[in-house]
Structure formats: C-alpha cells, structure tokens
Amino acid sequence: MRLVYFTSRGKEEVMNQYKMHFDDTLGSSIFEERSPTRWVAAMQKDVVMIIDSFSYMVLDKDLQSYRAAVEDLRSASRSTQALVVLTTDTGMVTPEREAILLHLVDGVVDFHVRESNEGLVRFIRIGHWYDGRIRDNNIFYRFEDMRISVDSRSRVV
C-alpha cells in the first residue's frame, strides 16, 4: 500500500527520516498540512494514511468540529478502503475527545514504555478493536533492526 503521511513536525525532517529507513518504490507522499478537508481529499483506494500528530493538529478545534473531522475521516476511509492511523500525544486528548475517538475508530493501540530493574520495558495495550471486543493488554514488544518484534506469550504486569 502507498503511504500518505501528514505531519505537524516539518515535511523535510520527516522526509529525511523516511528516506533513511525505507526504499520508496510506491511513491509515498508527505505533507505538512493541518486541514481535515485536505486529509479527506488525499484519501485513495489502498492507501495507508498517517496523521501525526492528530491530537496536536486538531487541538484548536471545538468539540463539534473535532467530531466532524473524525466522522469525515471514517466515512472517507470506508468508501476508499484506505487505512487511517491517527497518532495522539499523551495528555492532549480530553475525556470528551477520547470518547468520540473510541466510539468512531475501529481500533486503539497504546504503546507504553516504563523503567524496571532490568531496564526499559515496552508493552502494547489493545483496549478497543473493530469488532468491539477488548483484546489482550500489556503485550511485550522490542525493537530489532528498525523493526518491532511482538511476543504475545509474554505479559507485562
């Protein structure tokens, strides 16, 4: 699938990081754009769209505009069969906005890191998924050669 990436951090910075780690044979697109209308317009069949950081880019929107942006993204992704990933920053999503996201998105995956006596412990929590069931929580993961390695047999307590 082709990548369409919207960033709030600066297009050149993201492009440089992307080129260091990926061979872009599919012609990915990276934009520095905060407009939900532009996000929806860029949605196409078989595209993975990442909006990073969604929570930052919609921080100034009132609650109704926020809900409308999420609803428009959901509708456009359904009609184009695109996969949309919204990244959020800890502390930026109010309980009301989180309730809207949980109601409208198909899945929520939280990545956590904490220190222990053995060093850093990384784990994933999947608190909501498309079929409405809660999935496994606290699934251990680690990074290896720029790839994530998940072991669903190990649990973090």
Read off the pLDDT of residues 72-97 as tens digits, 9 standing for 90 and up: 999 999 999 998 998 888 788 889 99
Q: How far apart are CA 139 and CA 112, in angstroms?
A: 10
Q: How many domains does the chain have?
A: 2
How long is the chain? Answer: 157
Listed in sequence order, the residues at least 6 apart from 154 whose beta carbon sits closer than 8 Å to its beta carbon are 139, 140
pLDDT given for residue 13 in this prediction: 83
Mean pLDDT of 16-25: 74
Q: How far apart are CA 68 and CA 76, in angstroms?
A: 12
Q: What DSSP character marks residue 81?
A: T
pLDDT given for residue 128 in this prediction: 64
pLDDT given for residue 156 in this prediction: 47
98 and 118 belong to one structural domain: no
pLDDT at 103 over 60: yes
Backbone φ and ψ for 57, nearest 5 degrees, come out as -70, -25
84 and 12 belong to one structural domain: yes
Residue 47 tokens, joined: 């595209």
pLDDT at 40 over 90: yes
14 and 73 belong to one structural domain: yes
96 and 125 belong to one structural domain: no
Asked if residues 2 and 48 have their Cβ atoms less than 8 Å apart, the reply is yes
Q: Which domain holds residue 143?
A: 106-157
Pick the range with the lowest mean pLDDT from 12-16, 73-77, 135-139, 152-156: 152-156
69: left (phi over 0), alpha (psi -120 to 50) or beta: alpha
pLDDT given for residue 11 in this prediction: 82
Omega cis (within 30) before 53: yes
pLDDT at 157 over 70: no
